Amino acid sequence: MKNIKAIIFDAYGTLFDVNSAAEKCKDKIGDKWEHFANFWRTNQLEYTWLRSLMKRHKNFWQVTEDSLDKSMKTFNIDYSMRDELLNLYKVLSTFKEVPETLKTLKEKKYKLAILSNGTPSLLNELVKSNKLDNLFDDLFSIEGVGIYKPDSKVYDMPIKKYGIEKDEIAFLSANTWDVSGGGNYGYNAIWVNRNKNVFDNLDYKPVYEIKDLSELLNKI
C-alpha cells in the first residue's frame, strides 16, 4: 500500500472486545458466558442487516438491547443482570495491543478515524472510557446516513469528509463482511483475524490478513 493518508478502523470486535461485557460477569453467568456473548453478538449483527433490508431502522443501542433480551431468554440468564450487561457494553475493553498501536500511528501523522455501526454517543463513551479520545480525528457513525454496514453509503462518509481517494484509505476490520464491504467499495481493506477464522466468499480478498493491530505497523 502506498500513499495512505487515513487509517479507518471498525470499532466492535476490531478495537474493542465485544465479549468483554459478558466476561466481566462470568462468575454470575457461569461457564456458558462465552457462548452467550457470541450469541448476543451474532443476533445483534443479524438485526442490523435485517432492519436495513426491511428499511425499519433502529439505532445500534436499541438493536443491542433487543438482541440482549433475546439472548438472555435463550440462555436463561436472570433478567436482573440486564442493566449491568448494558452498562458494561458501553465501556467495552480494548484488545491489549490497541492503545500503543494507535499512539504509534498517530506519531506517524496518519489521520485516524473510527467507522462504526455504533451511535455517536456510544462511540464517544467507548473512546473516552479507554482514554483514546485524543488519538482519533473523527468518529464516523452510520447514524449519519441512517443505514448499517455494509451499505456503500457508510463507506462514503470518510471520503466526503476528507476529500481523498478511496485507495488512499486503509480500512481495518475483524468482521469479514465488513472487510468485503469496504474492499468492494474501493478501500485498501485489511482483515484483523484474531481467531484464525476462514474468510467469507464475498468477491473480495483482503490486501493483508493480520492477527492483531500491531502487525499493521509492518504493512504501511
Q: Active-site positions?
A: 10
If phi > 0 it is left, if psi is from -120 to 50 it is alpha, else beta; for residue 129 that is alpha
Max alpha carbon distance in the chain (Å)? 52
User: Identity (one letter) of the amino acid at 177?
Assistant: W
As given in the structure block, the three cell numbers for residue 69 are 433480551
Q: What is the torsional sign of CA 64, 68, 69, 71?
A: positive
CA distance 118 to 104: 25
